Structure 1
Amino acid sequence: MTGRRKYDDGCAVAHGLDLLGERWALLIVRELLLGPKRFTDLRAGLPGASADMLTQRLRELSESGIVERRKLPPPAASWVYELTGWGAELEPLILELGRWSSRSPALRTDAPIGPDSLVLSLKTLFDARAARGFHASIALHLGEHRFRVRIADGHLEAVRGECDRPDATLDTDPGTLAAALWDGQEHAFDDPDGVVSRFLTLFPLPEPAGITRESPAPRPGGAAG
């Protein structure tokens, strides 16, 4: 990490920013939380990051012990990036950051969202109380991306991969699903047993934070304005 700006502060929070505070670093971690990815897959998930920038950040995260690179066994035999055990411990932090920022009044729920980001939003906003008594295995197909979602005993598990014998299959795209979840837009999903309808109620957005802004101090000799 030679040449990078550092805080040179003994505080662990400052050191955490040394490790993850550079642009795109935390979003790379986000993209790897659900499993390993090839470089091309990371670029697809982070279209605003150039190839050079992505390469640099991956090198820095590898030097920090957060990310590692390995070769998949045949027949794939391709190189992938994945989180180390220590890097995977960032998941609660990222989910909590998402939960906190979802209360921002400026959050745009109509903005584009990637498949991994959407699945992590499900983990972030999952309402365990609303899911009480609901047990389901759902195959979530977001374009070419496949995820399996299981809900049982008030817990949600969501990982990348195919789902064997699902109770329901939700075949859509991230934008359509996000609109159904959070923008109140109704869509005719295939749902003969009502599993998808119940599923869609389990991820409410929290109330926006009550942000108060102080009025400017009066100017000397007159009213503020």
Structure 2
Amino acid sequence: MAARDYGQYCNVTRALELVGERWALLIVRDLLVGPRRYGELAAGLPRIPSNILAARLKELQEAGVIRRAPRSRVVLYELTPYGRELEPVVLALGAWGFKAMGEPREEQIVTPDSMTIALRTAFRPRVAADLPATAYAARFGSAELLIRVDGPALDVTRGDGPVDLAFAAGPDIRGLISGELAPDRAIATGVVEVLRGPGDLLGRFANTFHLAA
């Protein structure tokens, strides 16, 4: 049953009844990255009350969007095939929201899952198809990601591995992704700190990941 009934027979209304409650799409966002334990979902959404997280998980299960997937002694939550159909919706919503992000507030954080979806949103496979395969190690606050681009294929994971360029950046990397800040300027102003590898590869990163502000 939907948590909210808008009293309209409409496909958009029905979609909002299923995933329009607060936090619901953020749970879907994180599960698009991969299955998660309850505690991992809570850690990725640090402001969600535990009772609300439990309620949203129950509602999304009843709607057929997610399911519990027992693995040994651990219970994971994962998207169903129906739930995975939300991926282009979430990416499109992210691209739309990017235009209105503005400056980050002091209390706002970046999580590995949110940054993974941001990179998927900004990824330009047609551009990447003409560039050499490149691996990046990126640290965005506490989020550390291994980003592999091979032609039109993108793989973003947590962990270590051989990379061509390692860099650290804060929320101001938005200027690089939007094209408002040139790669060399991003390095010169400290928006991006090159940790290892040739800094000129940041230009390739900026060409590969781009969203209009």
Normalising TM by the smaller chain, what interval?
A: 0.7 to 0.9
Long gaps (5+) in structure 1? 208-225
- In structure 2, the residue matched to 1:119 is 116
Q: Partner of 1:152 in structure 2?
A: 150
Q: Structure 1 residues 177, 157: closer, same or farther in 2, change over 3 A?
A: farther
**Alignment map for 1:10-159 (pairs within 5 Å):** 10-73=9-72, 77-104=73-100, 106-109=101-104, 111-128=108-125, 130-131=127-128, 132-139=130-137, 147-153=145-151, 155-159=152-156
Q: Which has the higher helix share?
A: 2
What are the ranges of 5 or more consecutive residues in structure 2 without an aligned counterpart? 177-185
Partner of 2:205: 199
| Aligned counterpart, 1:222 | none
- SS state of the match for residue 157, structure 1? strand
Residue 182 of structure 2 is aligned to residue 189 of structure 1: no
Deviation at 1:9, TM superposition (A): 1.7
* Residue aligned with 1:187, SS: strand
How far apart, CA to CA, are the structure 1 residues paired with 2:117 and 2:173? 16
Bigger radius of gyration, 1 or 2? 1
- Give me the whole-angstrom Cα distance separating, in 2, the residues matched to 1:136 and 1:97: 27
Distance 1:200 1:178, change over 3 A: farther
The structure with the greater share of residues assigned to strand is 2
* Contact 1:139–1:149 (Cα < 8 Å) also in 2: yes
Length-normalised TM-score, structure 2: 0.78
Aligned residue in 2 for 1:223: none
Counterpart residue type for residue 108 of structure 1: E
Give the TM-score normalised by the residue count of structure 1.
Answer: 0.74
- Does the 8 A contact of 1:134 with 1:152 survive in 2? yes
**C-alpha RMSD of matched pairs (Å):** 2.8
Where does residue 6 of structure 1 map in the other structure? 5
Q: Is the Cα–Cα contact under 8 Å of residues 135 and 162 in structure 2 kept in the other structure?
A: yes
- Partner of 1:199: helix, strand, or coil? helix
Tell me if structure 2 keeps the 8 A contact 1:29–1:83.
yes
Write the deviation string for residues 118-162 of structure 1: whole angstroms up to 9, x where unpaired. 111111112345533231234556688665433233x24234455
Please give the alpha-carbon distance, in whole angstroms, between the structure 2 residues aligned to 1:127 and 1:8. Answer: 40
- What's the CA shift for 1:194? 5.1
Moved over 6 A (4+): 141-146
Percent pairwise identity: 34
Q: CA deviation at 1:5?
A: 2.3
2:113 maps to amino acid:
D
Q: What's the counterpart of residue 179 of structure 2? A: none
Are the equivalent residues in 1 in contact too, given 2:165–2:199 (CA < 8 A)? no
Aligned to 1:218: none
Q: After superposition, what is the alpha-carbon deviation per residue over 1:83-131, rounded to whole angstroms, capped at 9, x for unaligned?
A: 1111011111000001011112x53346422111111111111234553
* C-alpha separation in 2, matches of 1:135 and 1:181: 23
